Amino acid sequence: MAGRAVLLIPHRSETPDEAALPADYRRILAIVRAADSPVQVRAVGEELGLQVAVRGKLEPLRAKMTKLADRGWLHKRPDGRFTARP
């Protein structure tokens, strides 16, 4: 965009607008919110239909979930599992 960086995943604000997120990120959020406890990347991958037996297939998903956590949409726990922010 004319030399400007575009933030694909916006930071979460006080009035979060999930519509600003790409569809795959919204689906990840929905899966984490539907879980009744903190989830591992593998569990989210299973819900998305990824080949979870192949570790390399989960790394892009882990990166997306970490990006959501870095921007305030999810919380990444010290044990590597993720929870939804209230």
Task: State pLDDT tens for residues 44-81.
Answer: 999 999 999 987 889 999 999 999 999 999 999 999 99
Q: 28, 65 in Cβ contact below 8 A?
A: yes
Per-residue confidence (pLDDT) for residue 3, from 0 to 100: 57
Per-residue confidence (pLDDT) for residue 14, from 0 to 100: 63
- pLDDT category at 24 given cuts 50, 70, 90 is very high
Q: What is the pTM of this model?
A: 0.84
3-state secondary structure 9-68: CCCCCCCCCHHHCCHHHHHHHHHHHHCCCCECHHHHHHHHCCCCCCHHHHHHHHHHHHHH
Q: How far apart are the first and last CA of the chain?
A: 33
Q: Which residue has the higher pLDDT, 3 or 36?
A: 36
Q: Is 6 helix (H, G, I), strand (E, B) or coil?
A: coil
